[in-house]
Structure 1
Amino acid sequence: MAIVGYARVSSTGQSLDVQLDKLKYYQCDKIYQEKKSGITANRPELKKCLDYVREGDVLIITKLDRLARSTVDLHNILQQLNDKGVGFRVIDQSIDTTTSTGKLLFGILASIAEFETELRKERQMEGIKKAKNNGVAFGRKAKLTDIQIEELRYKRSNGVLIKDLMANYGLSKASVYRLLSIT
């Protein structure tokens, strides 16, 4: 029987230290870790972890939202673990799915985690909409001023090669063509 840990943070700027400390405290034999969004299905370390665990092993995580962000995904992972005869524990929420109470708690907390994610998305979209209404510009700052764009067009109309325009203005070929096509 092996105790296997899984730790995840959403972005490269975040630290795994707190999760790793907790998993080490629970004496995990092996710990998989990654810095990937829980929303994406492309989590190679989670896949390796789920492939690694065997009957009688226990998978431990610190919080439910570290494993996945949707209830469907959480239930699918739990079903995969159940099919393999692998126990599942969540440290911070005191969940142990080898018990009926643990299974109930898992379902409730999985639904709450998904609800919180949806609320966060709604607040983010409201904030973006408000910022746009207040004139905040999103996206990368333009590399060229309007005067430089007119100059670029003038040079091109006088036969300057695209590659030379790219070099002179520090732009990609696609950017030069895009700026030439804008009326």
Structure 2
Amino acid sequence: MKIGYARVSTTGQTLDAQIAALTAAGCERIFKEQRSGKSSAERIELQAALAYVRDGDALLVTRLDRLARSVLDLHQIVQQLNRKSVDLVVLLQAIDTTTPAGRLTFSLLGAIAEFERELICERAAEGRARAKQKGVKFGRKPMEVDWASIQSDILAGTQSKAAVAQQHGISRATLYRLLDC
């Protein structure tokens, strides 16, 4: 049985092209998700696909980087597939791990995918550092809360705490957190 796995990293991307390719390759079931490829342990659908495949099945992906971004992660997945006697087929890169040439290609492309991921992380870190040097602030903006007004509204007792929170543009949880301080 051919089992497909399709993944995109962000919600702005679409799975359509991968699903079409996996369907054309004869996949009877396709697992899909929109998550980062950094760690396979965090990808629920990948774990479901790995649990679903059985002896003699083939797990198909369109490209190797859809499966994982590190060589270690890729090898762990392939070892798991090997223990279950499941083949890995990467459609667009013509990789089939049942052959020595396929295993070599798999290892080389996995190393390249990991290198690419590290370059992306380095560039992102450099961009954040440059932005910080220019004075860009990261994270949530601090809340400006009129604490005296909130206290007087609470002490007046004319409105519920939920209504006071809504009136001041804060959540009930934030109101309760402020009251506990």
- Give distance in 2, aligned partners of 1:7 and 1:102: 20
Aligned to 2:22: 23
Counting aligned pairs with the same residue, the percent is 48
Matched-pair contact (CA < 8 Å) for 1:153–1:180: no
Matched-pair contact (CA < 8 Å) for 1:22–1:62: yes
Aligned to 2:137: 137
Mapping of residues 1-183 of structure 1, within 5 Å:
2-40=1-39, 41-144=41-144, 149=145, 152-155=146-149, 160-161=154-155, 163=161, 166-172=165-171, 175=174
- Give distance in 2, aligned partners of 1:113 and 1:101: 18
Matched-pair contact (CA < 8 Å) for 2:153–2:164: no
**For residue 172 of structure 1, what is the amino acid of its counterpart?**
S
Q: Deviation of residue 166 (structure 1)?
A: 2.7
- Give distance in 1, aligned partners of 2:57 and 2:92: 20
Matched-pair contact (CA < 8 Å) for 1:69–1:117: yes
The CA deviation string for residues 131-182 of structure 1, in whole angstroms up to 9 with x for no partner, is 11112222334453xxxx4xx244467685493753431213564556997x
Q: Deviation of residue 89 (structure 1)?
A: 0.9
TM-score by length of 2: 0.83
- Give distance in 1, aligned partners of 2:165 and 2:112: 51
- Give distance in 2, aligned partners of 1:30 and 1:160: 57
- Give distance in 2, aligned partners of 1:137 and 1:88: 45
Name the SS of the counterpart of 2:69 in structure 1: coil
Q: List gaps (5 residues or longer) in structure 1.
A: none
- Give distance in 1, aligned partners of 2:61 and 2:102: 14
**For residue 79 of structure 2, what is the amino acid of its counterpart?**
Q
TM-score by length of 1: 0.82
**For residue 19 of structure 1, what is the amino acid of its counterpart?**
Q
Matched-pair contact (CA < 8 Å) for 2:63–2:90: yes
Q: Deviation of residue 63 (structure 1)?
A: 0.9
RMSD (Å), alpha carbons: 2.5
Work out the number of aligned pairs and report it. 174
Q: Deviation of residue 93 (structure 1)?
A: 1.5
The CA deviation string for residues 104-153 of structure 1, in whole angstroms up to 9 with x for no partner, is 11111111111111110110011011111112222334453xxxx4xx24
Matched-pair contact (CA < 8 Å) for 1:95–1:105: yes
- Give distance in 1, aligned partners of 2:120 and 2:79: 27
Name the SS of the counterpart of 2:3 in structure 1: strand
